[in-house]
Structure 1
Amino acid sequence: MPARHLLFSPLKKAIMATAAAVMFTGSVSSAWADDTVSVFTYKGDRSESTVEVPVNPERVAVIDYAVLDIIDRLEADDAVKGMPLKGTIPEYIKHFQGHKGMVNTGTVKEVDFEALMALEPEVIFIGGRLAAQYDKLSEIAPVVFLSVDYTRPLLESVERNASTVAAIFSKDGQADEIINGFKERVENIKKQVNGKTAVVGLVNATQFKTLGDTGRCSFIGRDLGFNNLAKDIEATHGNEASFELLLKLNPEYVFILDRDSAIGRPGAKLARDVMNNEITAKTRAAQEDHIYYLNSTVWYLAEGGLTATDLMIRDMEQALNINR
């Protein structure tokens, strides 16, 4: 019986930690698989690196919705044996919850380490919310940490992440057609945008905040060519603003991310209700019916996946009345 199917024990834990360390140093051998592949990963400090993982692993834990999305689109979902079952899960990957024997690994921000170790995964996939746990998770199994790099166009990160997952599951080239389709749609959007002014806002607990071009939702300004009038904001969760500022900026378009809806906060006031006020109504965007509410679950929780990118581009196409 392969080592990955042995019952968990203190001795097994030590073997697992040793195997993970060996694979990380680039060895071509593995305690769990005859074939391995070296793939891209961020480390805990977000520096770029590589990690050695088994090819076609049969037991993986995916603690990131964007990676789970990619695995789903590449039809490698049978390997997923553990995922976060708590918190808000995007609709298009909720079917994973119904997989027989799926292990609940906690949330995308807080891992249930006991459940994860009992799962005995061959590979652990994580996103940025677990960066600080990279080293600790690497004691259990090789960790592939994928995320969006906000210093580059979004599609570059999506393509790199999809290629990384494809290399692990022998699905090379399968995402190419999808990515090429995204690139064509983005170029079409850019032609329609042509420097139109915009403000990208985040509503959280009735507060209105602005988002810049170097973090979440930067796809709108940096990649698609909207002139984000608050582009210099660097705060990941937005910079505190006011409706008076929004009126002063007076953009042609306003895009709103409803954080409370994204995380499923009970009793939270909807962003649409927060934005429905006399000051906002005076803006050019409101008067031209150009206030748009983004697919919050996707933009806030799953940026970087394949289906997520499709839905993000679709939001922009609808805002610009681009028919597909």
Structure 2
Amino acid sequence: MVNCASLCRHLAGMGTGQSVNSKRVFGPFRQKLKIIVAATLVSAATALVAQAATVSVTHAGGQTDVRTNPQKTVVLDLALLDVMNALKVPVAGVPGGRFSGALSHYGPDSVTKVGSMFEPDLDAIRALEPDLIIAGRRSTKAYPAVAEIAPSINLAFDQRNLVDSVMQRTRTLASLYGKQDVAEPLLERLNTSVKRLQTKTAKAGKGLLVFTTGGKLISQGPDSRFGVLFNDFGVVPAMTVFPAGKGVALTAGSLQALNPDWIYVIDRDASLGRNALSAKQLLDDAQVEKTAAGKNGRIVYLDPYNWYMLDGAGLNSLQENVDQLLEALER
């Protein structure tokens, strides 16, 4: 620090004819000033970098400040895990359960399991000391609890507008992890194939979505969580009346009366790996065979894991669903 008293004495000498050596007097002051300015600039730059390294994410649980490129992430939703897998982002913990298809490599014990989607194991999550926790539809109720452990975001998909929602969630995650170069080609392909599918469904006649579980046949409509088939993919519904948006129980006889041009089937028991009466067995009926769909071989058994366990969402899985429908409609 500059000695003010000494400086004043030297300046006072100027009035008595004493010469002041400016370099000697102001030299230390100038040097100190340079150091102060440099330190200030470094501090400002550091603050800017810290600010740039944190982004505010608006989500179903509110708004959360998240550090970019989190190094240790826990994912509590299979469809969002599918997005992370598509973006090639490693994860530290996943929900336990059955893994299939592109998610099979998360099944081994070498991958840390953190409870279920509905009931996360808070102690297991806490032990991982994650930088970010990503929740989804099935873990929504658990969100407040996990949010107390680490920065958390609830990226549950909007099932009423699923394709756009998947694209938005994918871009959010790609931005967080610096994976935009991976995400954009995948999203462009998805967008192109969905538009192509819409041109096919517009000319395909009416379709019925049948959900099978425990030996029952249940019709699902546009307001169900499988509504993407109608709302985004463009299938014209053969059944339009659904009380309170719920499914409607069917019989082989009512299927024949509806006479859909296409029947799309989701086998819930198959998605869970249960040894139950399969959808094919349930639909192996003379009355079903008399429908337009039955006569023309237009009963499509959708990928049960993608449609039920992932709610038809995800990125790779959504693309797979579109590709399967395109293959069926273009036969």
Assess if the C-alpha contact under 8 Å between 1:211 and 1:235 holds in 2.
no
> What is residue 22 of structure 2 aligned with on the other side?
none
Matches within 5 A, 1:111-130: 111-130=120-139
> What is residue 297 of structure 2 aligned with on the other side?
289
Q: CA 1:66–1:91 in structure 2 vs 1: closer, same or farther (change >3 Å)?
A: same
Counterpart-to-counterpart distance in 2, 1:51 and 1:113: 19
- Identity across matched positions, percent: 26
Counterpart-to-counterpart distance in 2, 1:130 and 1:185: 30
Assess if the C-alpha contact under 8 Å between 1:39 and 1:167 holds in 2.
no
> The residue matched to 1:132 in structure 2 has which SS?
coil
The alpha-carbon deviation at position 261 of structure 1 amounts to: 0.7
> What is residue 78 of structure 2 aligned with on the other side?
65
Q: CA 1:237–1:69 in structure 2 vs 1: closer, same or farther (change >3 Å)?
A: farther
Counterpart-to-counterpart distance in 2, 1:130 and 1:287: 42
Structure 1 residue 133 corresponds to structure 2 residue 142 = yes
Assess if the C-alpha contact under 8 Å between 2:211 and 2:219 holds in 1.
yes
Q: CA 1:124–1:231 in structure 2 vs 1: closer, same or farther (change >3 Å)?
A: farther
Structure 1 residue 207 corresponds to structure 2 residue 220 = no
> What is residue 41 of structure 1 aligned with on the other side?
59
The alpha-carbon deviation at position 99 of structure 1 amounts to: 8.2
Counterpart-to-counterpart distance in 2, 1:169 and 1:99: 26
> What is residue 82 of structure 1 aligned with on the other side?
93
What do the CA deviations read for 1:102-150 (whole angstroms, capped 9, x no partner)? 3211222221222111112111111101111111111111222122213
> What is residue 157 of structure 1 aligned with on the other side?
165
Unaligned runs of at least 5 residues, structure 1: 1-28, 44-48
Assess if the C-alpha contact under 8 Å between 2:160 and 2:228 holds in 1.
no
Counterpart-to-counterpart distance in 1, 2:225 and 2:328: 19
> The residue matched to 1:189 in structure 2 has which SS?
helix
Structure 1 residue 178 corresponds to structure 2 residue 186 = yes
Assess if the C-alpha contact under 8 Å between 2:219 and 2:249 holds in 1.
yes
Structure 1 residue 300 corresponds to structure 2 residue 300 = no
> The residue matched to 1:147 in structure 2 has which SS?
coil
Assess if the C-alpha contact under 8 Å between 2:146 and 2:152 holds in 1.
yes
> What is residue 277 of structure 2 aligned with on the other side?
269
* Greater relative contact order (Cα < 8 A, sep 6+): 1
> The residue matched to 1:286 in structure 2 has which SS?
helix
The alpha-carbon deviation at position 237 of structure 1 amounts to: 7.2
Counterpart-to-counterpart distance in 2, 1:67 and 1:90: 15
Counterpart-to-counterpart distance in 2, 1:248 and 1:93: 39
Assess if the C-alpha contact under 8 Å between 2:119 and 2:139 holds in 1.
yes
Matching residue's letter, 2:149:
I
2:326 aligns with one of 283, 295, 317: 317
Q: Please say which of residues 33-42 and 206-215 is displaced more in the overlay.
A: 33-42
The alpha-carbon deviation at position 90 of structure 1 amounts to: 2.5
What do the CA deviations read for 1:58-109 (whole angstroms, capped 9, x no partner)? 11111111111111111211xx111123x22132022134585x32112222
Q: TM-score, normalised by structure 1?
A: 0.81
Matching residue's letter, 2:305:
T
> What is residue 91 of structure 1 aligned with on the other side?
101
Matching residue's letter, 2:86:
R
Assess if the C-alpha contact under 8 Å between 2:119 and 2:142 holds in 1.
no
Tell me which protein shows more helix as a share of its residues: 2
The alpha-carbon deviation at position 201 of structure 1 amounts to: 0.5
> The residue matched to 1:81 in structure 2 has which SS?
coil
Structure 1 residue 55 corresponds to structure 2 residue 51 = no
Matching residue's letter, 1:75:
K
What do the CA deviations read for 1:182-213 (whole angstroms, capped 9, x no partner)? 11111112112225201001000010001110
Q: CA 1:281–1:235 in structure 2 vs 1: closer, same or farther (change >3 Å)?
A: farther
Unaligned runs of at least 5 residues, structure 2: 1-46
Q: CA 1:237–1:58 in structure 2 vs 1: closer, same or farther (change >3 Å)?
A: farther
The alpha-carbon deviation at position 294 of structure 1 amounts to: 0.2
Matching residue's letter, 1:88:
R
> The residue matched to 2:59 in structure 1 has which SS?
strand
> What is residue 23 of structure 1 aligned with on the other side?
none
What do the CA deviations read for 1:4-52 (whole angstroms, capped 9, x no partner)? xxxxxxxxxxxxxxxxxxxxxxxxx9xx999321123212xxxxx3321
Q: CA 1:308–1:34 in structure 2 vs 1: closer, same or farther (change >3 Å)?
A: same
> What is residue 167 of structure 1 aligned with on the other side?
175
In our comparison, the structure showing a higher alpha carbon Rg is 2
